Amino acid sequence: MHRPVLAVLATASLLFAASTTVHAQPADAAPSGAYPDKPITLLIPYPPGGSADMLARPLGAALQKKWNQPVVLEYKPGAGGAIASSQLARAKPDGYTLLMVLAAHAINPSLYPSLPYDTRRDFAPVSLVATLPMLVSAPLSTPANSIPELIAYARQHPGKLSFASAGNGNTSHLAAEIFKHRTGADMLHVPY
C-alpha cells in the first residue's frame, strides 16, 4: 500500500536537500589517487530541455573546468527517474557516475511498489545544486486576482478549473493535490 500524499511530500521535503546523489562508497574503500583521473558520467533522468537539463549543462561544464576531466551528460528519461537511478545503483561505487535528481527521486519509493534500488541505502547526497520555485499562473480571463480569490472561485465552480503538471506523481501534481486537499478547491488534473 502506498503512503498518503501528505506523508510522501513530507518525506520528499526532507530528502530534497539531497538533490544530487552519488552512489554510496563503502566506508572501508581506499582512495585510489587524485580524483578524478578519468571522465565522469552525469546521469540525467529526464529528457533534454527540462529543468534538470538546464541545471545539468552548466553544472557539467563547471565541473569539467574545475576537474580538468570530461563530464559526459547521459540522458536516461523514464519512470520518474527510476531508470537513471537504477543505472546508478548498478554502477561501480567509485564516484565516477553521478546522478542529477529532482524531488521525484525521494517520492518514487512511495509511488512505485517495487524499485530495483533502495533510495536511502544505495545513494548518498553530495550537494544541493538549486532550488526551483513552484508558481501558480492563470489566464487573464480567470475571475481571480489572488490565491484567496482563486480558492473561492474553485469552491463555487467545482471542476471548472484545471491544472497542469509534468505527469502523475510529479512534484507539481502532488503540490496541487495538497493545495486542493487543504483548500477544498475542486480542480481537474491534466498531466503532460
**Is residue 71 within 8 Å of 32, Cβ to Cβ?**
no
Q: How many distinct helices (H) and strands (E) make up the chain?
A: 7, 7
Q: What is the pLDDT of residue 18?
A: 33
Is the separation of the CB atoms in 106 and 80 below 8 Å?
no
Q: Is the Cβ–Cβ distance between 172 and 50 less than 8 Å? A: no
- Domain segments of the chain as ranges: 5-127, 147-191
CATH fold of 5-127: D-Maltodextrin-Binding Protein; domain 2 (3.40.190)
Residue partners of 36: CB distance under 8 A and separation at least 6: 67, 69, 95, 96
**What pLDDT shows up at residue 32?**
59
Whole-angstrom Cα distance, residue 98 to residue 21?
6
Architecture of domain 147-191: 3-Layer(aba) Sandwich (3.40)
Same fold, 5-127 and 147-191: yes
Cis peptide before 36 (omega within 30 of 0): yes
Tens digit of each residue's pLDDT (9 = 90 or more) over 130-186: 887 888 999 999 999 999 999 999 999 999 999 998 778 788 888 999 999 999 999
pLDDT along the chain (192 residues), means of 10: 42 35 44 85 91 91 96 91 92 94 80 87 88 88 94 95 85 91 95 84
Residue 108: per-residue pLDDT: 81
Three cell numbers, residue 22:
552519488
